[in-house]
């Protein structure tokens, strides 16, 4: 038995997992058009390296960061999800609650699905870890649990002794990790071994699974024993948000990541199970990240299931494949707790799309009208980060952003536990998001103002310096001129005197 710890707060939720976890993963259809946003990850956007009219192959890099080497920046390249022709590079609607538009590369597929040349790194164990790390960066891999942070940046080996592969799929409705662990445990474990090598041979490797996923646990345990891999398969309690990075670390190790620090500061790195499989595909098969598993579920779907979907596939194509019911009221990308509603289904599947919940009005309740806070403390009891949600709410509502920062607003992971437990139905997370956005905007404006002030001060200094230099030059020129006149006069007088004497 392995000793487990317990994090503060958390809530028990109805999982709604049985809707989609019974059927195997299926391949999604190839759409007529793929729409690939240039920014599908946390960090810097990419730049197109193709032109309209150019033919591309499946897996071919079509955009990368401005310095050509994304491994050195918070960025990852974008690859063609299928073969075809570039027909547009223009702003299109991307997955965001506002339906905002962003630069995208549009590919008209040719139906051939022809691969670009793939060069696997089969002998990675005999090469320096940095080589595999570069492969992972060039493959465009990001955290596939939903965050979208470039994975290669979490593969720096300095002081890492524990690798955790996160299979704690705690959000309601989402089952893509569950099905992957059941169907491809060998690839997850192989990917974990590669990550372990890149990290310089971490002493300990753990794959964490919630205790409500018995089949996934058995599949991974059996595969690890057959392959004689030094991997610990550990079951953790099913409580939301167990899948949170810091919560999972505490449960498994008893350690807590300090405020403002990353898990690497205590020698731990966490990657999702889908990320581990993507690493395996990149290194062992030479395959870039061009698809991901997406859970399509909800009572607006006839056949809820998990599909391997090419990135850039319009959401309506995937929904139609699963069977659309009538009376659809909401489309949510992500889980019911941390996901967000989209205005339509014309947007593309991107690297961070782990789930689509298609719901009619009788499935996910419409939020009740908020009532005044009764100071019951339920929100604080549920918060897994030990924050004081009530105080954050009051100060955010009062627009006292200094106090909001004092109460560590940016430690909030927006899991929604506080709002779920609130008997007054206050949309607490909305207030926190508003406060964060205002603070970020204020910081951005302050930096712009500081830059403008610095430019003004430098301009004033430059003009003053140029004026002083001009005055100095004028003075020097006048002195030279005066000396020249005096010399000329003196020479003339001497010449006149010499003539007179003669």
Whichever domain contains 213, its CATH number is 3.40.50.11540
Between CA 27 and CA 47 the distance in angstroms is 29
For the four alpha carbons of 494, 497, 499 and 502, in that order, the dihedral sign comes to negative
In a domain, 325, yes or no: yes
Output the pLDDT for position 309. 98
54 token code pair: 């150019």
In a domain, 389, yes or no: no
Q: Three-class SS of residue 329?
A: strand
465 token code pair: 């310096």
In a domain, 175, yes or no: yes
In a domain, 360, yes or no: no
Contact status, residue 380 vs residue 389, Cβ threshold 8 Å: yes
In a domain, 296, yes or no: yes
DSSP 52-76: TT-EE-BT-EEEE-TTS-GGGTT--
Closest by alpha carbon to 103, among 188, 36, 183? 36
Q: What is the Cα 6 distance to its own chain's centre?
A: 27
**Degrees, nearest 5: CA angle 396-400-402:** 110
| Angle between helix 129-138 and 273-285 (nearest 10) | 100
Burial of 156 (0-12, 13-18, 19+ CB in 10 A): middle
What residue has token string 């038995």?
1
Closest by alpha carbon to 231, among 200, 267, 283, 191? 191
Kind and range of the H or E run holding 310: strand 305-310
In a domain, 480, yes or no: no
pLDDT digit of tens for each residue in the chain (502 aa)?
Answer: 578 999 999 999 999 999 999 999 999 999 999 999 998 888 888 999 999 999 999 999 999 986 556 666 788 999 999 999 999 999 999 998 777 899 999 999 999 999 999 999 988 998 899 899 999 999 999 999 877 889 999 998 788 999 999 999 999 999 999 999 999 999 999 999 999 999 988 899 999 999 999 999 999 999 999 887 789 999 999 999 999 999 999 999 999 998 888 999 999 999 999 999 999 999 999 999 999 999 999 999 999 999 999 999 999 999 999 999 988 889 999 998 999 899 999 999 999 999 999 998 766 666 678 999 999 999 999 999 999 999 999 999 999 999 999 999 999 999 999 999 999 999 999 999 999 989 988 888 888 898 899 998 899 999 999 888 888 888 877 777 767 777 777 777 777 777 666 5
pTM here is 0.86
In a domain, 422, yes or no: no
Q: What is the 3-state secondary structure (H, E, C) of 139-194?
A: CCCECCCCCCCEHHHHCCCCCCCEEEEEECCCCCCCCHHHHHHHHCHHHHHHHHHH
Q: What is the DSSP letter of 38?
A: S
For the four alpha carbons of 174, 192, 252 and 211, in that order, the dihedral sign comes to positive
Closest by alpha carbon to 272, among 170, 150, 142, 145? 145
Output the pLDDT for position 294. 97
Contacts of 293 by beta carbon, 8 Å cutoff, 6+ apart: 25, 176, 179, 180, 274, 306, 307, 308, 309, 354
Q: Three-class SS of residue 463?
A: helix
Instruction: Give the total number of structural domains in the chain.
Output: 1
What values do phi and psi take at 155, rounded to 5? -115, 30
Closest by alpha carbon to 97, among 370, 433, 393, 399? 433
In a domain, 386, yes or no: no
Q: Domain range for residue 65?
A: 17-329
What residue has token string 């206050």?
426
Closest by alpha carbon to 97, among 437, 460, 397, 369? 437
**Which whole-number Å values give the CA distances from 203 to 164, 230, 400, in the listed order?**
11, 9, 46
**Which whole-number Å values give the CA distances from 425 to 375, 390, 416, in the listed order?**
13, 13, 12
Contact status, residue 136 vs residue 282, Cβ threshold 8 Å: yes
Output the pLDDT for position 227. 83
117 token code pair: 């040349």
Burial of 179 (0-12, 13-18, 19+ CB in 10 A): buried
Q: What is the DSSP letter of 264?
A: G
């Amino acid at each position: 038995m392995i000793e487990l710890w317990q994090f503060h707060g958390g809530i028990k939720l109805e999982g709604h997992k049985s809707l989609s976890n019974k059927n195997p993963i299926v391949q999604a259809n190839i759409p007529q058009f793929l729409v690939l946003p240039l920014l599908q990850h946390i960090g810097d956007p990419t730049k197109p390296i193709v032109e309209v009219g150019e033919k591309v192959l499946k897996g071919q890099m079509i955009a990368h960061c401005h310095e050509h080497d994304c491994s050195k920046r918070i960025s990852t390249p974008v690859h063609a999800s299928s073969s075809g022709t570039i027909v547009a590079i223009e702003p299109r609607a991307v997955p965001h609650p506002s339906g905002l538009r962003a630069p995208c590369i549009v590919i008209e597929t040719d139906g051939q699905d022809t691969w670009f040349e793939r060069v696997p790194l089969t002998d990675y164990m005999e090469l320096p870890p940095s080589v595999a790390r570069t492969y992972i960066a060039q493959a465009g891999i990001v955290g596939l649990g939903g965050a979208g942070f470039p994975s290669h940046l979490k593969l720096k080996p300095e002081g890492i002794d524990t690798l955790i592969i996160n299979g704690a799929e705690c959000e309601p409705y989402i089952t893509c990790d569950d099905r992957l662990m059941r169907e491809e445990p060998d690839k997850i474990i192989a990917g974990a071994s590669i990550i372990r090598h890149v990290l310089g041979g971490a002493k300990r490797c753990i794959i964490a699974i919630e205790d409500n996923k018995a089949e996934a646990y058995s599949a991974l345990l059996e595969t690890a024993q057959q392959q004689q891999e030094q991997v610990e398969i550990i079951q953790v309690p099913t409580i939301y948000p167990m899948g949170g990075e810091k919560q999972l670390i505490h449960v498994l190790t008893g350690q807590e990541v300090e405020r403002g620090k990353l898990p690497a500061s205590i020698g731990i790195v966490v990657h999702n199970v889908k990320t581990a499989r993507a690493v395996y595909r990149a290194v062992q098969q030479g395959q870039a990240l061009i698809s991901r598993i997406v859970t399509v579920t909800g009572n607006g779907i006839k056949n809820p299931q998990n599909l391997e979907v090419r990135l850039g596939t319009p959401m309506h194509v995937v929904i139609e494949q699963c069977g659309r019911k009538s009376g659809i009221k909401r489309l949510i990308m992500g889980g019911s707790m941390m996901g967000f509603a989209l205005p339509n289904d014309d947007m593309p599947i991107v690297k961070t799309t782990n789930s689509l919940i298609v719901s009619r009005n009788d499935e996910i309740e419409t939020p009740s009208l908020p009532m005044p806070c009764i100071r019951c403390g339920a929100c604080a009891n549920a918060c897994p980060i030990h924050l004081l949600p009530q105080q954050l709410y009051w100060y955010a509502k009062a627009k006292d952003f200094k106090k909001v920062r004092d109460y560590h607003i940016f430690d909030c992971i927006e899991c929604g536990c506080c709002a779920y437990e609130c008997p007054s139905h206050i949309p607490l997370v909305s207030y926190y998001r508003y406060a964060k956005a205002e603070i970020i905007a204020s910081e951005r404006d302050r930096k712009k103002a500081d830059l403008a002030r610095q430019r003004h001060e430098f301009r004033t200094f430059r003009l003053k310096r140029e004026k002083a230099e001009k005055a100095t030059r004028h003075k020097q020129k006048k002195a030279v001129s005066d000396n020249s006149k005096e010399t000329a006069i003196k020479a003339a007088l001497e010449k006149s005197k010499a003539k007179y004497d003669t």
